[in-house]
């Protein structure tokens, strides 16, 4: 074969072959009408409560007593929102929630990824027993630790301060277990050994090998951690009632004698908006990272 004809020997793969190989990676499954129908039903079922809250929050109190409740929003949403702002210190409470949720999320991601890498790729005495202990703590209901934890916070003098909300959740057993399971499957031991041969320290192996591979799992864990911290109600109610987070502040919209449901639901919608913005901003990156990890290799 001559040099002139060499480039023509590399034939472009037909589109049919590319499609066949793509379908092979997906197991030969193509979503159909049933799949899209189920996804649509699931979406409508999950979005309807938020939509109904917005509809009620944009109408007056007479909405709930009408024979045929409206399905479209009214024009009183900002009026009800102004009443929410006048009743509770909304912006201060939102700032508290953003601060608490942000610190907890960063801390959980940092410590969980470090501990998960250690349990997944390092070998040390008592490793198995410690991992069993971490998993066993997941079976303990959170409510059982509220009283001793409150007594501990009172002993430290932290009650009334946001630190009492942040410190107990700086790291979670679920985060450690989740990162450990993910890193075991995506980081080969040979890659860590190669990094050690190149002179990397243990922390260097984590920083240059484990952390880049863990980005999809960190995105998932970060979103769920932020959402859990943002919606937490019971523990902040006990330790910071005078300096409340957003969920605790919104509980002040209800009284023992009368509950103005449009105002309450308006506050609930306003408290949900930051989570919606977070999912819209990070959703594409989250899905892209998950899909990259799913088809890798």
The domain spanning residue 95 has which CATH number? 1.10.3720.10
The answer to whether residue 2 sits within a structural domain is no
Q: Is 45 contained in some domain?
A: no
Q: Is residue 56 part of a domain?
A: no
The DSSP output letter for 152 is H
Per-residue pLDDT of the chain (297 residues; tens, 9 = 90+): 444 444 444 444 454 544 545 454 445 567 788 888 999 999 999 899 899 999 999 988 877 777 777 888 888 899 999 999 999 999 999 999 999 999 999 999 999 999 999 999 998 898 999 999 999 998 888 888 899 999 999 999 999 899 999 999 999 999 999 999 999 988 898 999 999 998 989 999 999 999 998 988 898 899 999 999 999 999 999 999 888 999 999 988 887 577 888 999 999 999 999 998 888 887 776 676 566 554 444
Residue 140 included in any domain: yes
**Is 105 within a domain?**
yes
The answer to whether the CB of 184 falls within 8 A of the CB of 117 is no
The verdict on residue 141 lying in a domain is yes
What is residue 60's DSSP assignment? -
pTM value is: 0.82
Residue 13, in any domain of the structure: no
Neighbours of 62 (CB within 10 A): 8
Structural domain boundaries enclosing 182 = 88-295
Residue 71 lies in a domain: no
**Domains in the chain: how many in total?**
1
Sequence-distant (≥ 6) Cβ neighbours of residue 109 within 8 angstroms: 175, 218, 221, 222, 225
């Amino acid at each position: 074969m001559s040099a002139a004809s060499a480039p023509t020997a590399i034939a472009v793969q037909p589109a049919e072959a590319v499609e066949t190989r793509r379908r092979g990676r997906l197991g030969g499954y193509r979503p159909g009408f049933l799949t899209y129908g189920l996804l649509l039903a699931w979406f409508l079922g999950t979005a309807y409560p938020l939509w109904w809250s917005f509809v009620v929050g944009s109408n007056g109190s007479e909405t709930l007593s009408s024979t045929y409740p409206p399905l479209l929003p009214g024009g009183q949403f900002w009026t009800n929102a102004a009443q929410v702002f006048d009743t509770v210190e909304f912006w201060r409470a939102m700032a508290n929630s953003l601060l608490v949720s942000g610190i907890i999320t960063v801390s959980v991601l940092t410590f969980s990824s470090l501990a998960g890498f250690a349990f997944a790729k390092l070998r040390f005495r008592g490793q198995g027993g410690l991992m069993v202990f971490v998993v066993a703590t997941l079976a303990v209901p959170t409510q059982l630790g509220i009283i001793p934890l409150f007594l501990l916070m009172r002993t430290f003098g932290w009650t009334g301060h946001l630190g009492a909300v942040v410190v107990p959740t700086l790291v979670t057993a679920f985060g450690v277990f989740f990162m450990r399971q993910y890193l075991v499957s995506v980081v080969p031991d040979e890659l860590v050994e190669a990094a050690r041969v190149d002179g990397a320290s243990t922390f260097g192996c984590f920083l240059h090998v484990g952390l880049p591979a863990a980005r999809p799992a960190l995105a998932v864990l970060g979103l769920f951690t932020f959402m859990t911290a943002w919606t937490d109600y019971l523990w902040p109610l006990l330790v910071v009632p005078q300096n409340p987070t957003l969920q605790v502040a919104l509980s002040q919209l209800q009284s023992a004698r009368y509950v103005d449901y449009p105002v309450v639901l308006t506050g609930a919608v306003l408290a949900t908006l930051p989570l919606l913005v977070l999912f819209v901003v990070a959703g594409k990156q989250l899905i892209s990272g998950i899909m990259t990890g799913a088809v890798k290799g």
